Structure 1
């Protein structure tokens, strides 16, 4: 029996000082100096204890473990600033103008506590059983919802140990696995808590008051995921072949998300209160994964390979709302929508379909145009404007013509590794990739039309070929002077809505990337005898060597990222994400 206890903690103090002096430098003038001071401190502690018991008797192997863990963190911040300093040489806050002062403070805390246990049992190294139970409590939930209980159980059968497998000599080890587990999630996109609301200072006609920062939700509770998994592990051909296969179903309930309330309900603008965090619905994931490792050639030249392949399909199962869908837009592009609909994958791209540019007046007269527009060169739709697909065929372009135009989720992902060695040299190459996912190229969208770019922002080269109608009079039967362009004409006010995001900017995000290449050399011991070194290894490598893709942006490896404001998670949107840099490395490792 073993007992272990561990206590750890962290105390942090930080201060930040910033002074922006007044200056005059050519045509650049800053007449008012500014000073800012910020002080932060935080305290964290964690304490856990575990008790273990193991016993072997005969063909039985028994293991028990129980434990407890507690964590807590408190933090606070103080801020102050002033403007209008008489001299740039005196920078203390007290030297600034009181009339231009600002200050603020904040504080908060979080805490969790867990009790956990595990039971292991193995009989004759053939039948394996494991069961666990966790009880987790978190301060982000109310008193009635604070604790969550998460059991799991798994069983394995090592078939290769059975008597009827003795004659199958090419199989070294074969194990079948079955698992079930329930896990919990308490994380909020911006941290904090959902059952309480922060109070923000607010100026009123009667002096300083308080404004609730977010609508509280006292019924907020744990998000939980039930996972069912079946798999097997196979080692064969004297361990030259290894195959690992898993298939799973995950059902997640009480999904944590900000309730999508409309702006007219007071969630946007001056004096607004943010929407509450709620348990909004449930989703289902089904997936499959396989890993194959092989020893292709052995000594003196050795070649080992590894291939991994996995696919995952997600579906929104249910919404605890009157609506059958939820929408999400990045803060920088409110016209773009990622939509989740019950019965379909989450966060698919939802928008208009690009049908080209109006090539002539006849094309314009015979096509659907926005219902808020008319055929007019200055205040409506004209030759050279974007032609949208009339999805529902009602003869006008409106919200009803939006449709799903792409999915950020790949059909499958894969990885390939190869390791070579000969005498003292070794070489490893790792590649990875995805297939079938879409990317909305916001960088291209923002810089490929006259209205969205310009002298102050720059533009892509294609903008120079913007559509140019031959005339702005209907009787001239105008046509495009540069047919085939995909860039709309220049027009004030954008009456046709050319700036609407369409599938024109949705691209195939499939790629194959050589992620790592490493070449190593172990200096022979016969050479090292002459120096006081037991081992010496030299390596050189490159990361992100090259990428094969049809994506026109900087980097197809987009993934998901949090919204700058509000914490909305955006998936598959390239808004200028810094690309993965190619890195060259060289190392020398000595063992004395």
Structure 2
């Protein structure tokens, strides 16, 4: 064995020392290439030495950090730098060993370089569907979550914002293909993660969204829902540069479409409901004298502050590059005790050990505190009786009377729940360039996420129905850690300036571990002293503890080959094999191939001289990806032992017993997603006009679902591969950029996506969701319909008189048989449609009422730059979906308030044919089209006006750049929906059901960007 280790050691030394031997023979030049205006590194710049040997060009390209190394044939060599979208540049070496190169953008011909899985490429050479978002677009939004800034920036990406501070938005790429976790994979500086919450917007250099299988298959089992690659800012060689960003802002809830009845209106509708129900008492005597009453939503919503401060230092030398940053974010929340505070530290360094070997690290630490909002506070405020008061005459919290909900202001006051989180995410890497065309990279990453949650409710008394008899405390400590080790070998070669090959192969390992410890108890003495809120102070008789843990691991092999012939004909082939511990031995491995072709038509002779067409590329791809986001150990049966429930005594003998809790599925395996993409990219008029179009077809098969099993089995089912879901549509981006004679630069960008979703097969099963009051279901997931389709009764109108009721009763030929068998109806009640044609209304007449998924989403962005001023406006819209207004449908039979839509109710013949008479229950409260609303909207997503200090003044102040701006986010929704926001999410089986969400807030802010 020792001889094997010796041979391995000698081989490794040979690989490292081989380039060093060449140094003695020829001079080697190193350098970095950056954009002259933005100082950002340029990836993939072609560098050719003009001195040729035997007619074979001597050249290289810059890496992901903009660095290059080239062995020269002449010590005074002339180097040519060329890069699509930039002016060509010639530089003489003159015995130099390092070059700082700044290239100037050619505004008439722009092209991106994007980061792809395990590498980078020029966008012109891509065969997959990838969208790139730059740092400037991310810092516009006032959110702690960088993912929120993706809304409207990438075609095919749906982002549903959350108003709750610290909560991540919901992101879906090209629809929803699973009832399991359908969130994308995040890759931050090479480490594979489930989110990017720990990042500050200011630390991000760029984000690439990988959408089709050609781009995502290299991530195999985790690529089915799309991949978001994040590259953070890194050091650049040169003098230190200090960047400061700061803003202060205010936030408030947008309430344009959420009008509640005041006390007089409520009492009027309440009395009317009692009358229609035939109740003889409980009436309000004089509604007109009750006035406005309490605006409960106004009591819990407030104007709050939001602020962000960030400072970074960037620089480097020939041997070390560094970027260090610190950020602070604080958002109070528009509801008390719902704030979020975060500190972020980042250190990205790279060290050049030799001309061919470098190491580096990307480290990020986050500490956050989130005050968890009281669950259902908005829904409670929505339903509270406006006749109830917040405080009594003595200034104490008042009882809410006979309302079904309790004083929500008091509940918020007494409720205490906060979560502290410490998270360390980092990677360390080793790069070795050898044999001129090979690069070996070893990358190790870790994610340590420790959480601490404390919830305390003190003892209090407001009324017999609203009290906490003993105080209670619960605490949870959680620890999540994962590590990743990736080893890749890349070969990049250009032959005779015609054939280009880039191949990467690799081997990866990743492991995940989680454990939590929970404790709770009651009766803490001196409850008003927060220093006493510890489990050691509880009454031991009330103590409870719990402990949960799980682990999983994955091993992978990957390969990708990119080939280009004459920069015209492109091909990409990739393959990944993943083995996961989540699946049994028979199905542990999944295999995920892809293939893509591209044709740069513009490079053909018949188009090369056509000046009107600057770029034209056609591409197509096919591939398979997977999804393993299910629970652990599902191929194991779970057995539960409990002496009280399982053990038996037979004949005086104690016999231990056990029962099966979860049955197992030995055949459980990967969800597979097959995706086909056909697209083209076109640039016209010197790339002033750029178009990108993609058609995609995405079929998820073997979808993992939990089937319904008979109750006598006595155990819970586990996931089973039974489903197929199809998503298809088109993505497009149209952008126009130009400069007018008066030095006005402007651009207009239109992004759009269509989505068609359909459940193809789930073995004839039906899955219900919606979570409405009383356990009613508002959605159905079944074959032939989109996922989570709304399911209920179609409404034909309102019965205007008894004659109309009699007419419907006679439709089956027997007037003595009621048309509506569900309830006894009266004039003013809703008319349901007989969808199955049997002449009566039964539960079998429930039918598809529409989809929560939009048919089209899009954005419009306009930017203007004139002299030292800049202006931008972004609009975002979603169209063609419906929302089930669950909060309107959630009414208690005796007391809940109504929104003003109920004032349009039927009060007599001809008064309304859409809003029924007032009742507390019955036909009018069934799941039907009554509570279904148009979910389409357009919103003013962001408006920003900035002014940059002239360079002459900046220099006098020893500053490189100083910019001031004012901006606003989420300023206005244009929608017919009656809710705080039409951005309604939900889990995969309950999409689009609004049971009351934390409102999305409008933000106004002022800020500055400073560099010196």
TM-score, reference length from structure 1? 0.85
2:919 to 476, 490, 507: 490
Question: Hey, what does 2:517 align to over in structure 1?
Answer: 78
Question: Hey, what does 2:796 align to over in structure 1?
Answer: 355
1:134 to 556, 559, 576: 576
Distance 1:30 1:555 in 2: 33
Question: Hey, what does 1:553 align to over in structure 2?
Answer: 979
Question: Hey, what does 1:9 align to over in structure 2?
Answer: 446
SS at match of 1:283: strand
Question: Hey, what does 1:330 align to over in structure 2?
Answer: 770
Question: Hey, what does 2:688 align to over in structure 1?
Answer: 240
Distance 2:696 2:462 in 1: 65
Matched, 1:446 2:861: no
SS at match of 1:396: coil
1:221, distance to aligned residue in structure 2 (A): 0.8
Distance 1:140 1:24 in 2: 49
Matched, 1:224 2:665: no
CA contact (8 A) 1:182 1:227 kept: yes
CA contact (8 A) 1:370 1:397 kept: no
Question: Hey, what does 2:862 align to over in structure 1?
Answer: 418
CA contact (8 A) 2:788 2:989 kept: no
1:252 to 686, 700, 715: 700
Matched, 1:143 2:589: no
1:211, distance to aligned residue in structure 2 (A): 5.5
1:22, distance to aligned residue in structure 2 (A): 4.5
CA contact (8 A) 2:781 2:989 kept: no
Distance 2:547 2:904 in 1: 53
Distance 1:484 1:305, change over 3 A: closer
Matched, 1:458 2:897: yes
1:212, distance to aligned residue in structure 2 (A): 4.6
Distance 1:484 1:12 in 2: 56
1:224, distance to aligned residue in structure 2 (A): 1.0
Question: Hey, what does 2:222 align to over in structure 1?
Answer: none
1:252, distance to aligned residue in structure 2 (A): 1.7
Question: Hey, what does 2:786 align to over in structure 1?
Answer: 345
CA contact (8 A) 2:769 2:989 kept: no
1:338, distance to aligned residue in structure 2 (A): 2.4
Distance 2:1008 2:745 in 1: 23
CA contact (8 A) 1:369 1:381 kept: no
1:150, distance to aligned residue in structure 2 (A): 0.5
Question: Hey, what does 1:502 align to over in structure 2?
Answer: 928
CA contact (8 A) 1:408 1:439 kept: yes
Cα deviation per residue 1:205-249 (whole Å; 9 max; x = unaligned)? 749976655432221111111111111111121111111111122
2:959 to 509, 533, 537: 533
Matched, 1:169 2:611: yes
Where does the alignment leave 5 or more consecutive residues of structure 1 unmatched? 469-478, 563-567
SS at match of 1:169: coil
Distance 1:521 1:198 in 2: 64
Matched, 1:513 2:955: no
Map 1:89-488 onto structure 2 (within 5 A). Answer: 93=535, 96-188=538-630, 191-196=631-636, 203-204=644-645, 206=647, 212-259=660-707, 261=708, 265=711, 273-299=715-741, 300-319=743-762, 321=763, 323=764, 325-332=765-772, 334-368=775-809, 380-447=824-891, 452=892, 454-455=894-895, 457-463=896-902, 486-488=915-917
Where does the alignment leave 5 or more consecutive residues of structure 2 unmatched? 1-437, 649-655
Distance 1:87 1:428 in 2: 55
Question: Hey, what does 2:995 align to over in structure 1?
Answer: 575
Distance 1:265 1:215 in 2: 13
RMSD: 3.3
CA contact (8 A) 1:12 1:42 kept: yes
Cα deviation per residue 1:408-436 (whole Å; 9 max; x = unaligned)? 23222222111111111111111121222
Distance 1:304 1:36, change over 3 A: closer
Q: Which has the higher contact order (CA 8 A, sep 6+)?
A: 2
1:552, distance to aligned residue in structure 2 (A): 2.3
Distance 1:370 1:53, change over 3 A: farther
1:296, distance to aligned residue in structure 2 (A): 4.8
1:585, distance to aligned residue in structure 2 (A): 2.3
Aligned length: 556
